[in-house]
Structure formats: structure tokens, C-alpha cells
Amino acid sequence: MKHQDSLFTFAELSTELKNRGITRGIAIQTLHRWRASGKLAARRIGGTWYTTLEDFDSFVASRSPSTKTNNSVIRSKDINRATESLTRVGW
């Protein structure tokens, strides 16, 4: 098994993620699209693109909203709606 800082081709990364049960598999074309848009760090050696699990994890973390932040935002909106409703009925 490869180490965290090992380089993976996009095909190897897709297979590795699928084998770990992290995803059902990510299409190689999707990885290339993320790379081309600058979202996924990758390097080209010869004619092959490589990335690391660490780079992939950073990409995922940058795309995933924090659950804590998301919950507190939802809670704040709920409190504001409840306050407005109570104000309308005279509380």
C-alpha cells in the first residue's frame, strides 16, 4: 500500500479511493477537470498527471462546508424566524 505522500496517477487514485470505500469511484475525467480548473493540485511527469492523497484530501476539505458552521448558521436562521413570528403575534 502506498504512503500518504506517494504520487498516484489519476487512475490509481480513483482505484485507491474505491478500494478504501471512500467513494464508489471518481471518474478519471472528473479528476482531470478538477486539475485543469486549478482545484486539485497535481503535477505532470512525462505525459502523466500525478497527485497525492494529501492533495486530494485538501481539495475535499476545501469543498466541504464545516458541519459546525453549517449547523450554527441554520440555528441562527431558525432563531431569527422564531423571533419574528413571536414579535408578529405580540410576544
Question: Does residue 88 lie in a domain region?
Answer: no
SS3 (DSSP) at 50: strand
61 located within any domain: yes
- 71 domain residue, yes or no: no
- With respect to residue 49, please indicate whether it lies within any of the assigned structural domains: yes
What's the total number of domains in the chain? 1
Q: Please report, in tens digits, the pLDDT of each residue of the chain (91 residues total).
A: 445 569 999 999 999 888 888 767 789 999 999 999 999 999 999 999 999 999 998 888 888 766 555 566 677 777 888 888 888 888 7
Beta strands across the sheet bearing 8-9:
8-9, 48-51, 43-45
Length of the chain: 91
Domain range for 47: 8-65
Residue 80 lies in a domain: no
Is residue 21 one of the residues assigned to a domain? yes
Q: Is the pTM value of this prediction over 0.85?
A: no
